Structure 1
């Protein structure tokens, strides 16, 4: 009777250990590699989104995917960039470091960063079921120095109309006019245009009295 009980206990312990090992192995394949701090870039910059598989292994022949939301940023198959599957907004702007793939480095180079590139990116090694997430933050961009020019004469008021223009801003800037003493001048609403690069060009006009040695700041 005691022998039967010992054999039953041994089988129970063996089954429990097997189940624990099976659970551990199945979980290990789906865990993320490492969590990273957000990567910060400015519009127009080139940036590298890191993805290092640990422990290091050769993934040069593996299927590799970079995605943002549901967009394919880059797909690597049979040792080459599979460009047909890449979202059009990323074509010509994303690449890997082929010589580093044998060391498990799947980092992505993203060129000419756009505001729309911001978000969470997923680096995924398909055959190994290994993944990593990294967030890209795109920060504000100061534009070019304002350029003031003489727009036209205002014959009705006996003054002149000055125009101020500046390009390459994000987010949309405010425009203020000041006289030589630092007093705020009354100007009409500025004209703002958003370009294909998501940056703003802003222009503003103000009518001032025509006087010698009078200076204004935009």
Structure 2
């Protein structure tokens, strides 16, 4: 089996998201386990011997998670999480076992909330330093212009006429 790199996904509440997990294998996949380390009891999804087992699922995931490919073709053990909520954010772990072997961690997927509330907050946080910098620049430029104006208005320029030189 081949481990994949961790994956980061963003999903908006109410949408579905595919938690991707795929391995290159020639053997029959016998067990698929999707877990959340921060969820105490139950699986996100559990599959054994050709069928899913909803009795082993945590109640918050029941009727919301299914295999992307029920035939597990090409080692694809990805699942679709439906009707995503803010409570679904976190890290998911994909474990798989081939015939005659024990389950192994294949990959981790981190799911974050992509709702408008988060984007607005991030935009506000990122925008505040820019506004502060622009105000500082405007103040410095304004001060320089003021000082130049004061310096020029305070000087009286006088030149002697050429015929008075002497």
Same fold, judged at TM 0.5 (above): yes
Aligned residues between the structures:
114
Q: Secondary structure, in 3 states, of the residue corresponding to 1:112?
A: coil
1:95 matches 2:66: yes
* Contact kept in structure 1, 2:32 and 2:96, CA below 8 Å: yes
Larger helix proportion of the pair: 2
How many Å apart are 1:32 and its aligned residue?
6.9
* Contact kept in structure 1, 2:45 and 2:52, CA below 8 Å: yes
How many Å apart are 1:103 and its aligned residue?
1.6
Larger strand proportion of the pair: 1
Q: Which runs of 5+ in 1 are unaligned?
A: 1-30, 143-169, 174-218
Q: Provide the TM-score with structure 2 as the length reference.
A: 0.60
Aligned CA distance change for structure 1 residues 91 and 75 (closer, same or farther; 3 Å): same
* Contact kept in structure 1, 2:18 and 2:68, CA below 8 Å: no
What's the counterpart of residue 138 of structure 1?
113
Aligned CA distance change for structure 1 residues 100 and 141 (closer, same or farther; 3 Å): farther
Given the alignment, which residue of 39, 42, 56 partners 2:9?
Answer: 39
* Contact kept in structure 1, 2:44 and 2:58, CA below 8 Å: yes
Q: Secondary structure, in 3 states, of the residue corresponding to 2:84?
A: coil
Q: Which has the larger radius of gyration?
A: 2
Q: Which structure has more RCO (C-alpha within 8 Å, separation ≥ 6)? A: 2
Given the alignment, which residue of 122, 144, 148 partners 2:93?
Answer: 122
Tell me, in whole angstroms, the C-alpha distance in 1 between the residues paired with 2:3 and 2:79.
Answer: 16
Q: Which runs of 5+ in 2 are unaligned?
A: 122-166
* Contact kept in structure 2, 1:35 and 1:134, CA below 8 Å: no
Following superposition of structure 1 onto structure 2, how do residues 1-218 of structure 1 map, counting pairs within 5 Å?
Answer: 33-55=3-25, 57-59=27-29, 62-71=30-39, 72-126=43-97, 127=102, 129-141=104-116
Q: Provide the TM-score with structure 1 as the length reference.
A: 0.46
Q: Supply the RMSD in Å over aligned alpha carbons.
A: 2.6
